Structure 1
Amino acid sequence: MTTLIATYPALTALADTLSGLPLHEVPAGTTLFREHEACAGFPLLLQGEVRVSRNTSQGRTLELYRVVPGELCLVSSSALFAQTALSAQGVTTRDTQLALLPPAAFRHALADTAFRDFVLGLFAERMADLTALIEAVAFQRLDQRLAAALLGHGSPIKTTHQALADELGTVREIVTRLLHRFEREGWLALSRESIDVRDPTALRALANGTASTA
């Protein structure tokens, strides 16, 4: 309980509610919740990360956001607010430790001003993130989005073409084609499940719309 409150200070007044919550150790790659299922509770992460995504009608997966310790899962909270089914799925990307606040306990906790303000504040932040995602998907070219996805992770980047495709909501073949184009430009070097960024300035210019791979 002490660790939960340290990670989520807004829960300080809810010690009695938290006292009986078990901690769950969840390995990487575990599906925590699925689209169209009932929400089992409000996840409180202490370690690890959860990737929240939605499947498209074309069978692709679009990443919406990721949840790390101290943050909120918008999909879970909105389902609990409205008492509706989940609108996306959540999968752990790393070994994860979490507690699950049951629906009834979540609704009871909302009576506490600090917790309610915390939830609504993070809810607003997540909505801003999703608005930016919608804008990127609707108006930004895929090569720009891919360039942006490769920045800010250092080098080399340990990932796969499929993982990048899932993050961008497209198919692996298109990502592979773009990565090979970037490699021909000398911006990066590709190897198995690894990308060595050679020219982050060029990638940043493309991501900002001030350069083109044409």
Structure 2
Amino acid sequence: MGWAGTALPGLDAATRARLDALPAQDLPRGTRLFAPGDRARGFAIVLAGRVEVHLTGPSGREILLYAVEPGESCVQTTLGLLGDAPYTAEATAATDIRVVSVPAALFHALMDGSSSFRAFVFRAFAARMADMTALLERVAFARVEARLAAALLELAADDTVRITQAELAARIGTAREVVSRRLEAMVRQGLVETDRGRIRLSNRAALLRLAAGV
């Protein structure tokens, strides 16, 4: 079975064959896939790894809009192809990635002629919009401390998070200086311990309560 049958289950045989004929690319971590002002030239399907999409404000502050992992889609690309709109955000490979790009002409042909491909695109688009709505709710209504605690819990492996303060700030939608102050407060409260590029969770139960707004 080719990559299409694995990555996009439920496709009809004709669509699967057309997609399987497309080559996959292996790209290193740090590769920029698109930037603000670019036009979408194809529909990227991530087979392995993680792509992160950031929005940068006039002040230079970044926010992580969403990540694209295997089986997920990029809402910026979908909007660009369907609405002929330029990108407003930047996408970068957060890890080494394996990706297939469906050329724009083939994307539109499949959207017109393949109900299974069209269903995949719209299901993935709906899921991504739900994620972005949840992000908006967190940024608008959740306290910074709660967002920071939730991010640390999500990222922790063996109670250790390896991330910079700038990356944490982008993930939770605030400034690096704010993250620095909140982490210092968490250290004083005995919730975490910090080292260069590393945060160790000292009191997971308290962090869970903080993330829940308790």
The interval holding the TM-score normalised by the smaller chain is over 0.9
Task: Measure, in 1, the Cα distance between the counterparts of 2:134 and 2:34.
Answer: 24
Q: Which residue of 2 aligns with 1:66?
A: 67
Q: Which residue of 1 aligns with 2:92?
A: 91
Q: Which residue of 1 aligns with 2:57?
A: 56
Aligned residues of 2:3 and 2:20 also touching (Cα < 8 A): no
Tell me which amino acid in the other structure corresponds to 2:171: E
Q: 1:141 aligns with which of 140, 143, 150?
A: 143
Task: Measure, in 1, the Cα distance between the counterparts of 2:36 and 2:12.
Answer: 31
Task: Measure, in 1, the Cα distance between the counterparts of 2:3 and 2:19.
Answer: 11
What TM-score results when the alignment is normalised by the length of structure 1?
0.93
Tell me which amino acid in the other structure corresponds to 1:178: R
Q: Which residue of 2 aligns with 1:188?
A: 192
Q: Which residue of 2 aligns with 1:156?
A: 160
The one-character-per-residue Cα deviations of 1:72-102 (angstroms, maximum 9, x if unpaired) are 1111111111111112211000000111001
The one-character-per-residue Cα deviations of 1:42-86 (angstroms, maximum 9, x if unpaired) are 111111110011111221111111011111111111111111111
Give the match's secondary structure for 1:44. Answer: strand
Question: What's the CA shift for 1:141?
Answer: 1.5
- The alignment covers a number of residue pairs equal to 210
Aligned residues of 1:4 and 1:46 also touching (Cα < 8 A): no
Question: What's the CA shift for 1:120?
Answer: 0.8
Q: 1:74/1:191 Cα in 2 relative to 1: closer, same or farther (>3 Å)?
A: same
- The runs of 5 or more residues in structure 1 that have no matched partner are none
Give the percent of matched residue pairs that are identical in Structure 1 and Structure 2.
37
Tell me which amino acid in the other structure corresponds to 1:142: V
Q: How does 1:1-214 map to 2 (within 5 A)?
A: 2-13=2-13, 14-110=15-111, 111-152=113-154, 153-154=156-157, 155-210=159-214
Aligned residues of 1:5 and 1:12 also touching (Cα < 8 A): no
Give the match's secondary structure for 2:87. Answer: coil
Aligned residues of 2:64 and 2:172 also touching (Cα < 8 A): yes
What TM-score results when the alignment is normalised by the length of structure 2?
0.93
